[in-house]
A = this chain, B = another copy of it.
Amino acid sequence: MAKISIQPRTYLYPMPAVLVGALVNGKATYVTIAYCGIVQRLPPMISVASNKAHYTNIGIRENRTFSVNIASEEMAQVTDYVGIYSGKTTDKSTLFENFFGTLKTAPMIQECPLNLECRLVQTVDVSGGNDIFIGEIVGVYAEEKYLTNGAPDVNKIRPLIFSMPDNHYWKFGDCLGPAWSIGKSFQPGQK
């Protein structure tokens, strides 16, 4: 079947739905972000793109720290709540049990199965509406029950997935196989 050209929009599948945290006026605040991706393995770095008008950005710029909190399936509703209401008018400091790591100014969410504590390395500006924050992940926190052999286990974390333009949250599905492995038996030409 022939391909057709459609309107260029931000169609990447899957997207995460993470809770990004910062300290603004001494209080923890959070924003729900789908525009987020890993940019480097070592030292580990992550990019978070957030509208310049977002309240959370104030704290990221000021403290040069932020957190990326992985929400679980059970947290879909509160994750959406955080994304709907702005920190300008809604106090999100009591929404979760907050904790801090070595950076002291990046509030993290106890209820999230996994927390990435980040030091701002660079802010990229592509002359658009977003701050593109690149952070080094300097701390990772989790309860033992979400780990296998000391590392995060996606099957225990059960993270949220986001999709656009339908704007829905999804669960992880079935496993399709291991990387750097299932491709070894692929025969070019079989397509």
Contacts and interface: CB of A to CB of B under 8 A. Distances in A.
Nearest to A110: B3
Interface residues of A, number: 111
23 contacts: A4-B141, A6-B152, A10-B41, A10-B46, A12-B37, A12-B38, A36-B37, A39-B49, A42-B129, A76-B177, A80-B179, A80-B183, A80-B184, A80-B186, A81-B186, A84-B180, A122-B124, A122-B126, A132-B134, A161-B161, A161-B172, A169-B176, A169-B179
Contacts of A168: 154, 175-179
Nearest to A40: B128
Nearest to A94: B188
Interface in A1-27: 1-18
A56 interface: no
Nearest to A169: B176
A58 interface: no
Chain copies in the assembled complex: 2
Nearest to A78: B186
A131 to B, nearest CB: 10
A162 B179 contact: yes
A7 B154 CA distance: 16
Contact of A170 (B49, B101, B172, B181): B172
A114 B13 contact: yes
Contact of A4 (B83, B96, B142, B177): B142
B84 A8 contact: no
Contacts of A121: 126
Contacts of A180: 80, 83-84, 167
A183 B83 contact: yes
